[in-house]
Amino acid sequence: MLVSPSLLSADFGNLNKDLEMINASKADMLHLDVMDGVFVPNISFGFPVMKYVQKACNKPLDVHLMIVEPQKFVNEVKDCGAEIMNVHYEVCPHLNRVVQQIKNAGMKAGVTLNPATPVCMLQDIVADVDLVLLMSVNPGFGGQKFIGNTLNKVEELRELITKRNSKALIEVDGGVNLETGKLLKEAGADMLVAGNFVFKSEDPLMRIKELSEL
């Protein structure tokens, strides 16, 4: 299982320590949650923090934009060293164009679905994206409870990906721990985001290792 720990749950008073832990870990990527207080009811961090993370972190960056009009910031996100730029389906009326913009900028394009957005909405874009990020909580906060219906959505998405000959990876975000992670693996997920489960633990390296061995 690929693992992308979410920096949102890190100690921002001592980011270096947590980034050193990530560098020494088996994490495949580092997940960065950008929030605008408009699309989601919270504000997290922005480009200056991401630029610092780019310098201090040796893992590829998986950027999850929970903002309206993400197409305005493709170049800024690229300049922060993002490998994947994830935009929400719910804020992109011209999703096909945004996906092309992300790819033209040299990044992998990810499309994210809120828990109440059906997987079938992706049928005409799934072949063009590198990754689909399914939210298993309502976006905005770490530490929330996993929404069980996500397991059905992962199965449905796996079928859609096969049917449409897509190479998209399935990433899941919210309430991930070893229990929900195991169920997600069985349902067909490729990559797990984990915030609290990793950073609020006494032994975050072990937690990342355990998730990666699922």
Which residue ranges make up the site for ligand DX5 (CB under 6 A)?
A: 6, 8-9, 31, 33, 64, 137, 139-144, 173-176, 193-197
Structure tokens at 164: 């449409």
- Closest CB 66 distance from Zn ion, rounded Å: 7
How many Cβ atoms are within 10 Å of 71's Cβ, its own excluded?
16
Known catalytic membership, residue 36: no
Residue 196 touches which of Zn ion, ligand DX5, none (CB < 5 to 8 A by kind)? ligand DX5
Of the candidates 111, 143, 145, the residue with the CA atom closest to the CA atom of residue 130: 111
Residue whose entry in the numeric block shows the structure tokens 């990527």: 29
Residue closer to Zn ion, measured from CB, 130 or 173: 173
**Residue 5 contact partner, candidates ligand DX5, Zn ion, none, CB within 5 to 8 A by sort of partner:** none
Contact between 28 and 2 (Cβ < 8 Å): yes
Kindly list the distances between the CA atom of residue 144 and the CA atoms of 9, 141, 196, 211, in Å, as whole numbers in the listed order: 12, 7, 9, 18
Contact positions with Zn ion (CB under 5 A) in 32-51 = 33
CA 97 – CA 40 distance, rounded (Å): 23
Catalytic residue among 18, 33, 62, 190: 33
Q: What's the CA gap between 134 and 93, in Å, rounded? A: 18
Nearer to ligand DX5 (CB atom), residue 104 or residue 143:
143
- Residue closer to Zn ion by CB (options 127, 196) is 196
Among the listed residues 18, 130, 173, 190, the single catalytic one is 173
Minimum gap (Å) between residue 192 Cβ and ligand DX5: 9
203 is catalytic: no
For 72-103, give the DSSP string.
Answer: GGHHHHHHTTEEEEEEEGGG-TTHHHHHHHHH
Two tokens at 110? 């990810």
| Interface characters, 56-75, with Zn ion (x: CB under 5 A) | --------x-----------
Q: Which residues bind Zn ion (CB under 5 A)?
A: 33, 64, 173
Residues with a known catalytic role: 33, 173
